[in-house]
Amino acid sequence: MPARFRLPQAGLTLISNSMNLPAQPHSSGNDHHAALYGDPLWQPAGGKIGGALQFDGNGDYVEAVGYKGVTGSKSRTVAAWVKTNSGDFKDIVAWGAEASGARWSLVIASSRCGIYVNDGFIFGTTNLADGAWHHVAAVLDSDANPDVSEVRLYIDGRAETIGSTLSRQINTAEGDNVKIATFNDGDNRYFQGMVDDAAIFDAALTADQVARLCYIGGDSFLAGCGRIGIDEDAVLEGDIDRDCSVDGADFALLARLWLETGPELTADIAQDQTIDYLDVSAMTGNWTDSIGPLTLDLGLVAHFKLDESAGTTAEEGVVGNDGTLHGSATWRPAGGRVNGAIQLDGSSAYISTDFNLDPADGPLSATAWIKAGQPGEVIISQTNGEGTGLDWLAAEASTGKLMTSLRPPGRGKLPLISQFVITDGDWHRIMLVWNGLYRTLYADGVEVAKDLTAQTDLTSATGGLYFGASNTLASTTFFNGLIDDIRIYNRALAPEDAAALSD
């Protein structure tokens, strides 16, 4: 999920929103509000994209209260437009703690941009202290033990030449809140200049995506066809702003970049590293065409296709938060309901993931194709983390009927159990939908159970999800059958979505 600091006017809001949601800044229900300190000046028409904030380098900063950024060794992208004449060591966007490898700061130092993690750094070579606007971005595509020397830097939408590094393993602490223009109020390293359109993603953007962030802005990642994880083949050729239509706005973007040359140019439709008549010709082929907003991808935050043929990794297709296969299981590359599937043995096999979505945070949906299984077995569960993890989708212990154990906290709060048996040996698309008030269960695209009265918030849990067993790994909960195409959404799917997914 990205977070964006938009700086158009007073009332700054830190937007924490799904990459897969439409362009409605507060639609996720996870937005964080930020506070201004010191006396930064709003420049309503002086930014690179609309307005911006001007910082005087003397106690001015912005703090996203309660938002800790992307922590640990997780993949991430941080970016912003900056304009400054000062080349001194200053923070642009920062969070974490003042310990070795535990800080994450996008900084300018000796007029160069880089990432500083405390006792380690990476810096580019471009002079940014020239009084001009520059787009700066840093991308960490994490492996098991990421090092700051592995960070990719981009200036003005293009890969930056690395000038210096000091190796240090990254383990960003859940310490200080995210801040713009400082890391720690009082350290006298306040940014001096202007900042616009700062953005944080909990995913490693590709070079093309960084270029889009630079040339078009963060709004394109909230637009109808701009979400991360979307099938690029589904996007219309010429839809530069990624709003699912080819129109005058796209032509204006192309005109703005006319005769630019080089790699990763967002308007380079012909992909020949030049913006010219060939791109105009390519655009006119789809002129005024539009497509639907790809509704089944909206709010999709995790997608495990389970199409592998070997190994112990279950790939996740939205942000690459892969799962790990445990125990005895068999990949069925051609035996699934949608391409391949995983066959679990009912005694030791399950998939663990680090992916988490707190049920208490708001609406969600979870869906999977399954075949076979026995009463009491679990398809999707959640580990505790901070909270109490429950079974999201399971077969009721005595009858094999579809159920969910997600429920509000407190005594007397019951699971939701349908009358639909899912353990009959046939393929079934099962689905849980929570809209913030009611739980609904679907089987094969049809509603089979729904709360009769409104519920309070669901029980909180922040641990990762398991597929094919309960979070306790109790012997009676291991699933014995096929599981395919698991999807998790941070929105409530509509009945027509349930029907479409079951086709």
Q: Can you give the CATH number for the domain in which 271 is found?
A: 1.10.1330
Q: Do 433 and 399 have their domain in common?
A: yes
pLDDT at 9 over 60: no
The answer to whether 385 touches 357, Cβ cutoff 8 Å, is no
| Domain annotation covers residue 226 | no
What's the number of domains the chain is made of? 3
| Domain annotation covers residue 461 | yes
pLDDT on residue 225? 84
What is the residue range of 257's domain?
232-284
Q: Do 258 and 337 have their domain in common?
A: no
Instruction: Summarize pLDDT for 463-496 with one digit per residue, the tens.
Output: 999 999 999 999 999 999 999 999 999 989 989 8
Q: Do 333 and 465 have their domain in common?
A: yes
Instruction: Summarize pLDDT for 89-144 with one digit per residue, the tens.
Output: 999 999 999 999 999 999 999 999 999 999 999 999 999 999 999 999 999 998 87
Residue where one domain finishes, among candidates 201, 221, 241: 221
Q: Do 122 and 216 have their domain in common?
A: yes
Compute the average pLDDT of residues 356-378.
Answer: 96
Neighbours of 335 (CB within 10 A): 15
Q: Do 175 and 209 have their domain in common?
A: yes
Mean residue pLDDT across the chain: 89
Q: pTM score, two decimals?
A: 0.65
pLDDT at 20 over 70: no
Residue where one domain finishes, among candidates 174, 202, 221: 221
* Residue 489 buriedness (CB in 10 A; 0-12 / 13-18 / 19+): buried
pLDDT at 318 over 50: yes
Q: Do 178 and 261 have their domain in common?
A: no
Backbone φ and ψ of 286, nearest 5°: -120, 20
| Dist. CA 395–CA 397, nearest whole Å | 6
| Domain annotation covers residue 413 | yes
Q: What is the CATH number of the domain that holds 33?
A: 2.60.120.200
Q: Do 408 and 363 have their domain in common?
A: yes
Kind and range of the H or E run holding 442: strand 439-443
Q: Do 169 and 244 have their domain in common?
A: no
pLDDT on residue 349? 98
Q: Do 78 and 147 have their domain in common?
A: yes
DSSP H helix total and E strand total for the chain: 4, 33
Q: Do 131 and 280 have their domain in common?
A: no
Lowest mean pLDDT among 146-155, 222-231, 460-469: 222-231
The answer to whether 430 touches 442, Cβ cutoff 8 Å, is yes
| Domain annotation covers residue 438 | yes
| Domain annotation covers residue 292 | no
Compute the average pLDDT of residues 242-254.
Answer: 93
Q: Do 254 and 321 have their domain in common?
A: no
Instruction: Summarize pLDDT for 394-420 with one digit per residue, the tens.
Output: 999 999 999 999 999 998 899 999 999
| Domain annotation covers residue 320 | yes
Residue whose C-alpha is closest to residue 227's, from 155, 359, 319, 338: 319
| Dist. CA 446–CA 440, nearest whole Å | 10
| Domain annotation covers residue 291 | no
Strand segments (E) across 257-415: 300-304, 313-314, 323-326, 329-332, 341-345, 350-353, 364-372, 378-382, 391-395, 401-404
| Domain annotation covers residue 11 | yes
pLDDT at 25 over 60: no
Residue whose C-alpha is closest to residue 7's, from 65, 48, 68: 48
Q: Do 340 and 304 have their domain in common?
A: yes
